[in-house]
Amino acid sequence: MASTGDRVRREVHIDNPAPPTELGLGLDIALDGTASSVNGKATFQGTVTCTKPVQVTVTGNVTQAKKRGLVLGSYSTSASCAPGRSGRLDRHGRTHRLGPFQKGAVEVEGRATATDPEYAQAVTVSETVAVRFTRV
């Protein structure tokens, strides 16, 4: 039996796992697209990638310089994304000013946004690329 002067010592070990990683997003806009010879609408594609299953919203602008000025358009779409599977984007830019899109060089700017499910914070990535439109 231990005397009252003896002390008992015990240890407690706590295992604290690392916090979940933050959501990673990627956006890849294809370098080729088409301009309709019927109505001048622009069509281009791209993909989004992610490190967690999320719904991704992609918005952006399409700009083409012509002799008479700029042809401007905007687009918005969404895609389901899961790790290891990219979400495909098919988009049609809508003309806003100075006529339809034509074949040639076009600047496509995109912003992909999703909410991280563990941290409830928006994550956004951007990409701007020169796309070559062909006539269809």
Mind listing the pLDDT tens digit for each residue in 32-84? Answer: 999 888 888 888 889 999 999 999 999 999 999 988 888 888 888 888 999 98
Percent of the chain residues past pLDDT 90, beyond the cut: 51
**From CA 37, how far away is CA 98, in angstroms rounded?**
16
The more confident residue out of 70 and 124 is 124
* Region label for 5, one of left (φ > 0), alpha (ψ between -120 and 50) or beta (otherwise): alpha
Q: What is the pLDDT of residue 120?
A: 96
Q: What is the pLDDT of residue 90?
A: 65
The first and second tokens of residue 53, run together, are 């299953």
Q: What is the pLDDT of residue 86?
A: 74
| 8 Å CB contact between 59 and 44 | no
Whether the full predicted model's pTM is greater than 0.85, yes or no, is: no
Task: Give ∠ CA 16-20-23 in degrees, rounded to 5.
Answer: 165
**From CA 121, how far away is CA 20, in angstroms rounded?**
13
**From CA 88, how far away is CA 16, in angstroms rounded?**
38
Percent of the chain residues past pLDDT 70, beyond the cut: 89
Q: What is the pLDDT of residue 100?
A: 86
DSSP 102: -
End-to-end CA separation in angstroms for the chain: 95
**From CA 113, how far away is CA 84, in angstroms rounded?**
18
Q: Cα 62 from chain centroid?
A: 16
Q: Cα 4 from chain centroid?
A: 68
Q: Mean of the per-residue pLDDT values for the chain?
A: 87
Q: What is the pLDDT of residue 92?
A: 56
